[in-house]
Structure 1
Amino acid sequence: MNVLIIEDDSQKAERVVSVVKATVPDANIDVCRSYQGGLKFLERENDIALVILDVSLPTFDPDPENRHGRPRPLGGYDIMRKMRRRGVTPPVVILTALENFGSAAQPYSFEQLRQKCAQEFPDYFKGAIYYSQSRTAWRDQLADIIRAVQA
């Protein structure tokens, strides 16, 4: 099973990798750290079984010598839209630690974003999980989705 994680927080990414490996020990896992990095990977690879996607992402991969570009408060959602346009639609689960997204002009709550994705991407959106460093429920929810996609 090939899994792509698009997550800019390295500690969170490590925790997600551990859940994936515990659920599917022989999984092949790639981690991208930005909106552009994730899109480029999705363009190159066509056998991804699951994308685990953060919502708020930097535009470019972190690099101490270069600018990261502007933050993308809905970068994960934008990736899902680009995926649909390009016909690249592996199953996607959103995993985020934020409760609110977007801008002051167009704010979304976690639940509103979940509903929006479910309506717009019914064929490949598999759910949204609220990530918490202090709680473990997200781990079980993610493992359940991984197992469902794998079945």
Structure 2
Amino acid sequence: MRFLIVEDDENKRVQLDRFVRETYPFAELEESRSLQSGLRQVRTKAFDLILLDMTLPNYEAGPDEPGGGTTHSFGGREFLKQMDRFNIRTPVVVVTQFETFGKPPQSLNLVELDAQLNREHAVNYRGAVYYHASIHGWRERLRTACEVALDGDGSAGAEA
């Protein structure tokens, strides 16, 4: 079993890595820290499940530009669009530490975003989990979402 974590926040990435290693001890795990590097990974390798952040920098930070370029509030949505474009079929669970995305009047809360992603990316999207570093309930919600995604049942939704 192969997992890809697309996450730019170091602490959250470490927590997701730990979650995968504890929950699926025999899984192979790869990580990307930006929209572009994550897309490169899914275009060149097969994965069984992708754990995807919603707010991502365009590319990974380099020595000349430490921030990694523009951060996209809906980087995860763009990731899913590109998966559709390239006909990549892999279940994706969004793991986010934000409850609202974008700026008014185009802002969406997590429930609205979940509904939109379900409508527009039903082939790959398997739901969203709200992550909070100091509240451990996210782990059980993520475990459930992963089980549903890996079983092929697309009935998962946002879980706050």
* TM-score (ref. length: structure 1): 0.93
Between the aligned partners of 1:89 and 1:112, the Cα distance in structure 2 is 23
Q: 1:130, 1:123 → 2: CA distance?
A: 21
Contact 1:94 1:129 in 2 (8 A): yes
Amino acid in the other structure paired with 2:101: F
Residue 42 of structure 1 aligns to which amino acid in structure 2? V
Considering Cα pairs closer than 8 Å and 6+ residues apart, tell me whether 1 or 2 has the greater RCO: 1
Residues 1:93 and 2:93 are matched in the alignment: yes
More displaced 10-residue stretch of structure 1: 97-106 or 110-119:
97-106
Contact 1:101 1:110 in 2 (8 A): yes
Report what 1:119 is aligned to.
119
CA deviations on 1:52-72 (whole Å, 9 max, x unpaired) are 000000111022433521111
Please say which of residues 5-14 and 119-128 is displaced more in the overlay.
119-128
> What does 1:57-136 align with in structure 2 at a 5 Å threshold?
57-66=56-65, 68-136=68-136
Identity percentage of aligned residues: 30
RMSD of aligned alpha carbons? 1.3
Does the CA contact (< 8 Å) of 1:55 and 1:77 recur in 2? yes
| Matched-pair contact (CA < 8 Å) for 1:126–1:145 | yes
CA distance in 2, matches of 1:16, 1:5: 8
TM-score (norm 2): 0.88
**Corresponding position of 2:31:** 31
> Does the 8 Å CA contact 1:92/1:125 hold for their aligned counterparts?
yes
Give secondary structure in 2 for the equivalent of 1:25.
Answer: coil
| Deviations 1:36-81, CA, capped at 9 Å, x for gaps | 1111111111x20001000000111022433521111100010001
Query: Is 2:92–2:149's contact at 8 Å kept on the other side of the alignment?
Result: no
Amino acid in the other structure paired with 2:59: F
Residues 57, 75 of structure 1: 8 Å contact kept? yes
5+ residue gaps, structure 2, are 152-160
CA deviations on 1:116-142 (whole Å, 9 max, x unpaired) are 011111222111000011111110111
CA-CA distance at 1:105 after TM superposition: 4.0
Bigger mean CA offset, 63-72 vs 10-19: 63-72
Matched-pair contact (CA < 8 Å) for 1:118–1:127: yes
Q: CA contact under 8 A between 1:50 and 1:149: conserved in structure 2?
A: yes
Mind listing any 5+ residue stretches in structure 1 that lack a counterpart? none
